[in-house]
């Protein structure tokens, strides 16, 4: 759906994007994370051909783009932080205007008003809406033409936590309905909750990329070994194997240690118990996405 290959952009002496390659597949919610000034918005602006890339290639829907053809623009919905709404016009007026400019049927206006619970507010001027309602209207406006791809730049920044959560619910519904989302965000909880894959951008480059669980595994410094059945022999050897006992009760135990030590312990268990009857599971007790982010952003 989106493919960037070695995309670059400088503003004078400032190299905002230094060779970014990524792919967003149909039906994904892809998160772009990174500190202020990392280049996230520039990437989104280049995708939409609002800013011309200096190098590399950008493809949308399998078609290489340097400027946005109208037929592709109709397949994309955009929610940028400047809400793109007319303050002095009502909710319904804004949506009718958007429907007309995208050539969407007028019936879509009532559909999105219903979908976003905007019924009681349809005749209010946008300037009288709360931030949360404004953002709901902005998202409704962005999808009035039923786009396949939705690009959102910090859609919940500045919203109260409960309103932000409500907006995330709307985004989750769009994702579940099969839309492809590119989500730029600073909010880990949001990315963790919504995104199938994430790229952390640092200084104009992709520092790491993968699913949230892949990133957590990649940065895991400890693994947890869960043992069920008769954990006593493992417990007896825990200290010798360099493992910490996190928890144990009658027939189960949970131990943690550096990956090499956990794998050694696992090999010993398997040599004694080849059917692995006693072993419930081994899983990476990785850091949270926020810890990964902090390590990536503060790292060398």
Please give the residue ranges that form the binding site for ligand ATP (CB under 6 A): 11, 14, 16, 34, 36-42
Q: Given the complex with ligand ATP, which of 78 and 262 has the nearer CB atom?
A: 78
CB of 4 to ligand ATP, least distance (A): 14
Alpha helices in 51-90 (DSSP H): 70-73
For β-strands 223-228 and 252-257, DSSP reports them as: antiparallel
Q: Given the complex with ligand ATP, which of 39 and 257 has the nearer CB atom?
A: 39
Tokens of residue 287, six digits: 């850091």
User: Is residue 218 within 8 Å of 33, Cβ to Cβ?
Assistant: no
CB of 137 to ligand ATP, least distance (A): 22
CB of 40 to ligand ATP, least distance (A): 4
CB of 86 to ligand ATP, least distance (A): 24
Question: In sequence order, what are the residues at sequence separation of 6 or more whose Cβ sits closer than 8 angstroms to the Cβ of residue 159?
Answer: 131, 132, 135, 167
Q: Given the complex with ligand ATP, which of 238 and 292 has the nearer CB atom?
A: 292
Element (H, E) at 227: strand 223-228
Question: Look-up: residue for tokens 């669980």?
Answer: 213
CB of 42 to ligand ATP, least distance (A): 3
Q: Given the complex with ligand ATP, which of 115 and 189 has the nearer CB atom?
A: 189
Alpha helices in the chain (DSSP H): 40-47, 70-73, 91-102, 107-115, 131-142, 161-176, 188-194, 212-218, 232-241, 259-272, 289-298
Q: Given the complex with ligand ATP, which of 34 and 278 has the nearer CB atom?
A: 34
């Amino acid at each position: 759906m989106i493919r960037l290959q070695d995309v670059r952009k400088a503003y004078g002496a400032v190299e905002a994007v230094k060779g970014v390659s990524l792919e967003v597949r149909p039906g994904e919610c892809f998160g772009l994370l990174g500190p202020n000034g990392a280049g996230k918005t520039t990437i989104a602006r280049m995708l939409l051909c609002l800013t011309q890339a200096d190098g590399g290639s950008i493809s949308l829907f399998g078609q290489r783009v340097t400027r946005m053809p109208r037929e592709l623009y109709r397949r994309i919905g955009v929610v940028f932080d400047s809400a793109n709404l007319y303050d002095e016009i009502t909710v319904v007026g804004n949506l009718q205007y958007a429907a007309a400019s995208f050539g969407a049927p007028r019936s879509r206006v009532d559909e999105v008003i219903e979908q976003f619970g905007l019924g009681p507010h349809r005749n209010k001027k946008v300037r009288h809406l709360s931030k949360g309602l404004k953002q709901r209207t902005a998202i409704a406006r962005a999808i009035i033409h039923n786009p396949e791809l939705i690009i959102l730049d910090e859609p919940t920044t500045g919203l109260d936590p409960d309103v932000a959560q409500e907006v995330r619910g709307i985004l989750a519904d769009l994702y579940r309905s099969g839309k492809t989302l590119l989500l730029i965000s600073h909010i880990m909880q949001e990315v963790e909750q919504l995104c199938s894959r994430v790229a952390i951008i640092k200084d104009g480059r992709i520092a790491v990329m993968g699913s949230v669980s892949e990133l957590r595994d990649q940065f895991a410094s400890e693994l947890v070994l869960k043992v069920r059945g008769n954990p006593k022999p493992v417990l007896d050897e825990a200290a010798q194997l360099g493992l910490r006992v996190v928890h144990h009760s009658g027939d189960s135990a949970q131990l943690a240690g550096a990956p090499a030590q956990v794998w050694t312990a696992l090999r010993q268990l398997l040599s004694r118990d080849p059917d692995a009857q006693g072993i419930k599971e081994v899983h990476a007790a990785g850091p949270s996405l926020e810890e990964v982010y902090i390590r990536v952003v503060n790292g060398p």
